[in-house]
Amino acid sequence: MSTAIPSRSVNSIAIAGARKGTRRDSLTRASFVLPAVLIILLLSIFPLLISLFVSVTRLQFVPGGFELLFVGFNNYYKLLFGIDQGRFLGKFGTPDALGWLVLGVIALGLVYWVGRAVRRGRVTVVGLVGRIVLAVFLMSIALLTVSTMSAGGRPGTLWVTLFYVYVGISIQYLLGLGLAYLCAQHIPGRRFFRVIFLLPMMITPVGVAYMFRMVVDTNKGPFYPVWAALGMENVSWVSNPWSARAAILVSDIWQWTPFMFIVLLAALESLPVEPLEAAVVDGATRWQIFRHITLPALLPVSTTLILIRMVEAFKIIDLPNIMTAGGPGTATESMTLEGFYIWRALDIGGSAAIAYLLLFIVTLLATAYANLVRNQVAVQY
Amino acid sequence: MKQKIALGILGVLTLMLVLIVACGTPATPPPPVVQTVVVPQTVVQAVKETVAVPQTVVAQQTVVVQQTVVAQPTAAPLQFAGQTINIVTFTGPQIAEPLQRRAPDFEKLTGAKVNVITVPFSDLYQKVLTDASTGTNSYDAWVFDPQWMGDFVTAGFVEDLTDKVKSDQALQWNDIAPFFRDFSATYQGKVYTIPFDGDFHMLYYRTDVLGDGGDKPPETWDEYLALAKKYNGKDLNGDGKADYGSCLFKKKAAQSYWTITDIAASMIQSQGTVQGTFFNTENMQPLVNNDAFKRALEIYNETGKYGPADELNLDVGDTRGLFTAGRCALGIDWGDIGSLAIDPATSKVQDKVGATILPGSKQVLDWATGKLVPCDDKTCPHAINGVNHAPFAAFGGWSGGVNKNSKVKDATYAFLSYMSQPAHANVDVTIGKTGFNPYRSSQFLNREEWVKAGMSPKAATDYLGAIEASLNSPNMALDLRIPQNQYYQQVVLDQALAQYLAGEITAEQAMKQIEEGWNAKTDELGRDKQLAAYKATLGVTK
C-alpha cells in the first residue's frame, strides 16, 4: 500500500521541523551564551550600577553596621563647583591675550568641524549630538587648560590625568614605532634587543615606581654617584611640579613603550613586501617608503593600539602614588589617585563620583576616537 | 600622739591589704590565660652610676639605673586548643613583628593558633571598618590606631573590655601610664583597647653636635629654627658630605599632618589638655584660621630651608634612616628613634642622640581675638621658663581591640593581654624593629632593659626622661578622635598642608581651605554630634 502525501503537507512538515530546529538552535545558542552574560552582569554591570548608586550617597556608621544616606548629586557638585573643585579642576587664572587667542581659534575650529558635518548631511541625529557633546567637552578642556596654565592658575587632577594620557601615549607611540622599525631591520643582535625592549612591560607598575623613585633620588641610593658627578646631588626632581610630572611621565613611558613596540613590530613584520619592492624599483627613498607605504599600512593597527593604551592610561595610579604620593602639593595627582585617597578615608560616595566622572570622560573620548578616527582609518585602508 | 595616729593608719592599711589579699584572690574569676598567675611582684633595685656627660650640654650628673623584676604570668595549659585567632594590623616589620614572634609561644601555652594578617597602613582604616560594618568579620582582633575608636565604638563593632582588664592581674592594668590607660584605651569612660605602644612626638637632637657647638636643645620653635640653620650644611657624620640642620617627614599622604600639630598646639593650647587644640569647644569652629596656625605654617615651611632637598617626599621611614645615619642635627619623631639609634646594625649615632620635650612658644593664641599674645601667668599657666609646651600625643599608640562579633573572644583577649603583659612588653619596647614605645610605668623604672639593649645609662635617662616629661605635662595635646577623623586629617588637613609646602597656595589660603573643609564635614556629620564627641574625648584626661 502506498500513501500519497500531498506536497503541501510535506512542505508544512518541513517548515515545522525547521521551526523546531530553529527554536532548538536558539535555545542551544542561548544556553551557551547565558553563562557569559551572567558573569558579565554579575562582575561588571551589577558593580557598575551599585557604584552609580554609591556615588549619590554618603556612608555613615550606625549601630551594628552602616547606612548609605542619599545626598543627590552633592558628591559631584563638590568636585565640580564645591570645596573639592580646586583639587579636581584646579585653580583658574586669568588668561592673557595669547590664551584668549588660542581659545578663540579652538572654538572656531570646533564650530567649523560640527558645521561641516551638518553641511555634508551625512551625519545622523545621534552622530550630530555626539559631535556637539564632544565639541563642548573639548572646548571645556581647552578652557581648563588655558585658564589653569595662566598666571595665578594651577592644574587639577583632571588636567594632570589628561597630561599623563596624551603626552605619555604620544611619546610611547613614537618611541615604540622607532624601536620597532629598527628591530624590523636586519641588524645584528635584533633578537636580543627585542627581548630587552620587552622587559619593562613585564615588571609590575609598583616595582617600576619604586625603581624610578630610587633613580630620581639624587641624594642617596644607587644613582647617587651619577648625580653627584653631575653636581646635582641637591636637586630634587620630585619637589618641583613640572619635574615631578616629568619624572612620572618618564617612568610611564619606560614601562609602556614596549607594549607599543611589540605590537608595531608584529604589524611591521606582517606587511606585504610587494609594495615595498615596487617602491624600491621605482626609486623611492627610505623616508618616502616609510611615509607613503609603511605608515599608512600601520594606521589601522596604530589606532587600535592607541585606543587600548588610552583606556588603560586613564587609570594611572601606582606611579604617582609610590613616587610622589601625588605631590608636591597636588601637582602629580591623577584622578584615580584622588579617588583612592578619598576612598581611604571612607568617603566612598566622593570616591565613586570621581570614578564615574572618569568613566564618562574615558567613554566619551574612546567612543569619539573609535567613531571618528579608527573607523575613518579602517575605511581608508 | 602623732605616732599613735600614724600607727593607727598603718594598721588600718595593713588590715585592708590583708583583707584584699585574703578575699580578693579566690573570689575573682581568673582570666583565661592567666588562671594560675602568680601575683606580680615588683622589686626595684636601685643601682647608682656616675656618667661623664659633655660639659657643654649638661653638667655631670648622677644617673639612677633601676631594675624591675616582674613575675612571669603562668597560663592555663592549652585552654584554647583548636581555636584560631585572626589578627589584622599593618604591614610590618613594626607592630606585626612582635605579634608574629610571640604567637608561637602563645600557641604552646594555650593551644590557640594566631594568624597575623597584615595590610598597608594606608589601607588599614577602611579595611577593618569595611570588614566589620559589612558583617564579614574576618578578623577577631585589630591592632590599630586608637584615634579610630570614634567610628568603631559608635557602630558597636568593638568589645567593651572594662571588666576584663580590671580583673586581669597578669596584665597589670594600673602599670600602664594613665594617659594611655585613660585616653588611648578608653572612650566615653569604657575600656575598648589594650595598649601596646606609647605614642607621642618628641624632639631628638645630636648630643655630640650640639655639645661641640656649645648649644642646648631648643626650648622654642624659634630656637629650633636658629639651631637648624646653624648646623645645616655641616658634615655631621664625618663622611665628607654636607648634612642637614633639620629632618622632618613632610611627604603628602603620610605623617606630615601630625608635625604641623606639634608646632601649632604649642601656640593654640595653653590652658591644659581639656582645652583642646583642633576645635573651639563652644561651637566646633576649627582653630586653624588664626595667627597661631599661620605662624605654625610659617615655621613648618621654614624648616624646609634647613632640611634635605627632597624633604617634601620623605616619610617617617626616610627621616629615621637619615637620623640614624647621622645626617640630621634635629628631628621630630615618636619614641622610635630612641631604640633605633642604639641598634648597632643600622645606627651611626649610638649614644649620640638626646631626646627632650617638643619645643614650645613664648606667645599663645587668644581664642577670642585670634591673635598671638605673650605668655604670662594667666595666658600660659603651665609654662616652663616662660615657654608654653604642648607635647602632642600624635596617633596615640598602637592598641589591640577585640571584635564584638568574634567567635573566639576569650582567646583573642588572652592574646592581646599576653602581648601587653610587662614580662613581654617591657622587652619589646626596647627593640627598635617592634615599633613599640614605652607606655608602662615599669618601663620607665626598669632601665636595666634599656641598658641591656645597648643604651648608656645617660641615654636611657635622657630618653625615658623626655617621655616622662611629656606624659607628665598638664598641657599635653590630644590627637583628634572624633568620627571620621581620617577625613579631617588625612584628606583636608594633609592636602592643604602639602599644597602650602609646595607653594601652590599661601598660608592664608591653606588656613581658609582647612577651615572650609572641616566645617563642611562637621556640618555633614552633624555639628552637635561631632562637638559632643570632641568634648567627650577631651574630658578624659589623666
DSSP letters spanning A76-120: HHHHHTSTTHHHHTEE-----HHHHHHHHHHHHHHHHHHHHHHHH
Lowest average pLDDT, out of A227-241, A297-311, B239-253, B484-498, goes to A227-241
pLDDT, tens only, B118-161: 998 878 888 899 999 988 999 999 999 998 888 898 889 999 99
**pTM score, two decimals?**
0.82
**Considering only CA atoms, which of A33, A35, B480, B468 is closest in space to residue B460?**
B468
List the domain range (segments joined by +) for residue B519. Answer: 203-393+476-539
pLDDT, tens only, B485-502: 989 999 999 999 999 999
The answer to the question of residue B407 being in a domain is yes
Question: For position B68, what pLDDT does the model report?
Answer: 43
pLDDT, tens only, A122-157: 778 888 898 899 999 999 999 999 999 998 899 999
How far is Cα B142 from Cα B126, in angstroms, rounded to an integer?
12
Q: Based on the domain organization, do B416 and B520 belong to the same domain?
A: no
**Considering only CA atoms, which of A149, A240, A244, A255 is closest in space to residue A208?**
A255
How far is Cα A319 from Cα B130, in angstroms, rounded to an integer?
26
Dihedral, CA of residue A363, residue A364, residue A370 and residue A372, to nearest 10? 180
Q: Could you say which of B408, B434, B460 is where a domain stops?
A: B434
The answer to the question of residue B445 being in a domain is no
Question: For position B342, what pLDDT does the model report?
Answer: 86
Q: Where are the beta strands (DSSP E) in chain A?
A: 57-62, 65-70, 90-91, 154-155
The size of chain A, in residues, is 381
- Give yes or no for residue A187 having a pLDDT over 90: no
Q: Based on the domain organization, do B215 and B134 belong to the same domain?
A: no
How far is Cα B99 from Cα B82, in angstroms, rounded to an integer?
19
Please tell me which of the candidates A65, A239, A341 has its beta carbon nearest to residue B310: A239
How far is Cα A138 from Cα A105, in angstroms, rounded to an integer?
13
Question: For position B150, what pLDDT does the model report?
Answer: 85
Confidence grade of residue B102 (pLDDT, cut at 50, 70, 90): very high
Please tell me which of the candidates B134, B252, B483 has its beta carbon nearest to residue A327: B252
Q: Give the three cell numbers for residue B175.
A: 602599670
How far is Cα B323 from Cα B139, in angstroms, rounded to an integer?
36
Q: Per-residue pLDDT averaged across A277-292, rounded?
A: 91
Judged by a CB distance cut-off of 8 A, whether residue B499 touches chain A is: yes
Under 8 Å CB pairs connecting chains A and B tally to 122
Q: Based on the domain organization, do B241 and B323 belong to the same domain?
A: yes
The verdict on a CB contact (< 8 Å) between A61 and B133 is yes
Residues of chain A contacting B504 with CB distance shorter than 8 Å: 154, 241, 328-331
According to DSSP, residue B109 is labeled: H
How far is Cα B122 from Cα B139, in angstroms, rounded to an integer?
18
Q: Which residues contact B191 (CB under 8 A, 6 or more apart)?
A: B160, B161, B162, B165, B166, B181, B185
- Give yes or no for residue A287 having a pLDDT over 60: yes
Per the structure, how many domains does chain B have? 2
Q: Check if the beta carbon of residue B87 is closer than 8 Å to that of residue B115.
A: yes
The answer to the question of residue B89 being in a domain is yes
pLDDT, tens only, A324-343: 999 899 999 999 999 999 99
CA-derived radius of gyration, chain B: 24
Judged by a CB distance cut-off of 8 A, whether residue A225 touches chain B is: no
Domain of B178, CATH number, reads 3.40.190.10
According to DSSP, residue B282 is labeled: T
Apex A206 CA angle, A204 and A212, nearest 5: 105
Residues of chain B contacting A351 with CB distance shorter than 8 Å: none
The answer to the question of residue B23 being in a domain is no
Residues of chain A contacting B254 with CB distance shorter than 8 Å: 325
Q: Could you say which of B413, B434, B455 is where a domain stops?
A: B434
Confidence grade of residue A231 (pLDDT, cut at 50, 70, 90): confident
Q: Based on the domain organization, do B228 and B184 belong to the same domain?
A: no
Q: Based on the domain organization, do B406 and B494 belong to the same domain?
A: no
- Give yes or no for residue B393 having a pLDDT over 60: yes
Lowest average pLDDT, out of A12-16, A78-82, B527-531, goes to A12-16
Q: Per-residue pLDDT averaged across A187-194, rounded?
A: 82
The verdict on a CB contact (< 8 Å) between B312 and A154 is no
Among B residues 79-118, those touching chain A with beta carbons less than 8 Å apart: none
- Give yes or no for residue B21 having a pLDDT over 50: no
Question: For position B78, what pLDDT does the model report?
Answer: 78
Question: For position B168, what pLDDT does the model report?
Answer: 93
The answer to the question of residue B449 being in a domain is no
Q: Per-residue pLDDT averaged across A106-115, rounded?
A: 94
Q: Do the bridges between strand B353-356 and strand B202-206 make them parallel or antiparallel, or are there none, so unpaired?
A: antiparallel
The verdict on a CB contact (< 8 Å) between B313 and A238 is yes
Return phi, psi of residue B429, to 5°: -70, -15
How far is Cα A30 from Cα A219, in angstroms, rounded to an integer?
63
Percent of chain B with pLDDT over 70: 85
Lowest average pLDDT, out of A5-19, A57-71, B184-198, B227-241, goes to A5-19
Q: Per-residue pLDDT averaged across B318-340, rounded?
A: 93
Question: For position A14, what pLDDT does the model report?
Answer: 54
Question: For position A278, what pLDDT does the model report?
Answer: 93
Question: For position B519, what pLDDT does the model report?
Answer: 96
Please tell me which of the candidates A87, A239, A329 has its beta carbon nearest to residue B309: A239
- Give yes or no for residue B213 having a pLDDT over 80: yes
Q: Which residues contact B489 (CB under 8 A, 6 or more apart)?
A: B257, B480
Return phi, psi of residue A192, to 5°: -60, -45
CA distances from A180 to A177, A266, B530 (A): 5, 8, 61
Say which residue, A216 or A162, is predicted with more confidence.
A162
The answer to the question of residue B451 being in a domain is no
The verdict on a CB contact (< 8 Å) between B520 and A83 is yes
Q: Based on the domain organization, do B404 and B359 belong to the same domain?
A: no
How far is Cα A66 from Cα A115, in angstroms, rounded to an integer?
52
Q: Do the bridges between strand B328-333 and strand B244-247 make them parallel or antiparallel, or are there none, so unpaired?
A: parallel
Lowest average pLDDT, out of A170-174, B195-199, B286-290, goes to B195-199
How far is Cα A12 from Cα A7, in angstroms, rounded to an integer?
9
Judged by a CB distance cut-off of 8 A, whether residue A176 touches chain B is: no
Question: For position A345, what pLDDT does the model report?
Answer: 87
Q: Per-residue pLDDT averaged across B459-463, rounded?
A: 84
Question: For position A375, what pLDDT does the model report?
Answer: 65
- Give yes or no for residue A364 having a pLDDT over 80: yes
- Give yes or no for residue A226 having a pLDDT over 50: yes
Q: Based on the domain organization, do B246 and B386 belong to the same domain?
A: yes
Q: Give the three cell numbers for residue B220.
A: 622654642
Judged by a CB distance cut-off of 8 A, whether residue A332 touches chain B is: no
On the 0-12 / 13-18 / 19+ scale of CB atoms within 10 A, A12 is exposed
Question: For position B538, what pLDDT does the model report?
Answer: 81
The per-residue DSSP string of A124-192 comes to: -HHHHHHHHHHHHHHHHHHHHHHHHHSTT-EE-HHHHHHHHHHHHHHHHHHHHHHHHHHHHS--TTHHH
How far is Cα B338 from Cα B326, in angstroms, rounded to an integer?
13
Question: For position B73, what pLDDT does the model report?
Answer: 43
Q: Based on the domain organization, do B182 and B253 belong to the same domain?
A: no
Q: Based on the domain organization, do B422 and B506 belong to the same domain?
A: no
Question: For position B29, what pLDDT does the model report?
Answer: 36
Judged by a CB distance cut-off of 8 A, whether residue A55 touches chain B is: no
Q: Per-residue pLDDT averaged across A355-378, rounded?
A: 85
Coil, strand or helix: which one is B392? strand
Please tell me which of the candidates B134, B254, B486 has its beta carbon nearest to residue A325: B254
- Give yes or no for residue B56 having a pLDDT over 80: no
Mean pLDDT of chain A: 88
Q: How many CB atoms lie under 10 A from the CB of residue B280?
A: 14
Q: Based on the domain organization, do B122 and B187 belong to the same domain?
A: yes
Coil, strand or helix: which one is B328? strand
* B157, B485, B491, best to mutate vs chain A, most A CBs in 10 Å: B491
- Give yes or no for residue B13 having a pLDDT over 80: no
Judged by a CB distance cut-off of 8 A, whether residue B120 touches chain A is: no
Q: Based on the domain organization, do B231 and B295 belong to the same domain?
A: yes
Chain CA centroid to CA B376, Å: 29
The answer to the question of residue B482 being in a domain is yes
The interface predicted TM-score (ipTM) is 0.81
Question: For position B67, what pLDDT does the model report?
Answer: 41
Judged by a CB distance cut-off of 8 A, whether residue B134 touches chain A is: yes
Query: Cis peptide before A328, with omega less than 30 degrees from 0?
Result: yes
Confidence grade of residue A207 (pLDDT, cut at 50, 70, 90): very high
The answer to the question of residue B1 being in a domain is no
Q: Least CA distance to A86: which residue of chain B?
A: B513
- Give yes or no for residue A8 having a pLDDT over 80: no
Q: Per-residue pLDDT averaged across B301-329, rounded?
A: 94
The size of chain B, in residues, is 542
Q: Based on the domain organization, do B385 and B424 belong to the same domain?
A: no
Question: For position B388, what pLDDT does the model report?
Answer: 97
Confidence grade of residue B43 (pLDDT, cut at 50, 70, 90): very low
pLDDT, tens only, A30-58: 888 888 888 888 888 888 999 999 999 99
Question: For position B6, what pLDDT does the model report?
Answer: 52
